Amino acid sequence: MIKVLISSIFLGIGLAMDACAVSMANGLNEPKMKFRKTLFIAIMFGLFQGAMPLIGYLVGCQILTKIDWIIPWAALIILGYLGGKMIYDGIKGEEECDVKSLTLKVIFVQAIATSIDALSVGFTISNYKLLEALVCVGCVAVTTFGICLGAVYVGKKFGTRLGNKAILIGGIILSIIGIEIFISGMFF
């Protein structure tokens, strides 16, 4: 069980990188974000990063291999749209960040988009017993939560310093993440 725990923590760190970058972009986008929203972002990303491998584990290899081609496209479209909107707003040069742009719906969509590639992790742990799989997804969720919580604060700190350019940078980051997920999903 110790081996499962240790490998699950490292798996969680690897899976959390996309969510970490998006969390940081959220902090850049909204440097005066309240603690409740920061906590909500970290919870959502942690929840979805843990849930997707669990779904993959429960559904199994058979069905996931049939829909695996959708994952890179979904991430590209969703993160590309969100990033493009932020880039547009950043170029438009609004005086204040549009705090309403980071709604609960947007956070929910970001959490799905950054965790959808974790679905395939479910069949890498398909040889685990149920308890081991639950420990694994729990570690992934908690690790992602912690990383994202810290990332939002880092983004907020830099967002305060960067002012209006923070929205533009956040949009570029989201777009790059979407492209990276697409390229790695399609070609690697």
Q: Between these two residues, 103 and 166, which has the higher pLDDT value?
A: 103
Percent with pLDDT over 70 in the chain: 88
Residue tagged 């290899």 (tokens):
61
Judge whether 18 and 114 are in contact, CB under 8 Å. Answer: yes
Mean pLDDT of 144-172: 83
**Among candidates 5, 14, 120, 15, which has minimal Cα distance to 72?**
120
Tens digits of residue pLDDT in 70-124: 778 877 888 788 788 778 877 876 544 444 578 899 999 999 988 887 887 777 7
Rounded Cα distance between 45 and 142, Å, is: 10
CA distance 106 to 140: 22
Distance CA(45)–CA(19), nearest Å, equals 6
Closest CA to 52 of 148, 147, 124: 124
Residue 94 has a pLDDT of 54
Its sign, for the CA torsion 159, 27, 145, 77, is: negative
What span, in angstroms and rounded, lies between the C-alpha atoms of 134 and 136? 5
Least confident of 16-20, 42-46, 48-52, 74-78: 74-78
pLDDT surpasses 70 at 51: yes
DSSP-derived 3-state class of residue 54: helix
What pLDDT score does 64 carry? 60
Q: Does the reported pTM lie above 0.95?
A: no
pLDDT over 80 at 164, yes or no: no
Cα–Cα distance measured from residue 84 to residue 86, given in angstroms and rounded to the nearest whole number: 5
Location of structure tokens 């729990």: 138
Sign of the dihedral defined by the CA atoms of residues 11, 112, 174, 65, in that order: positive
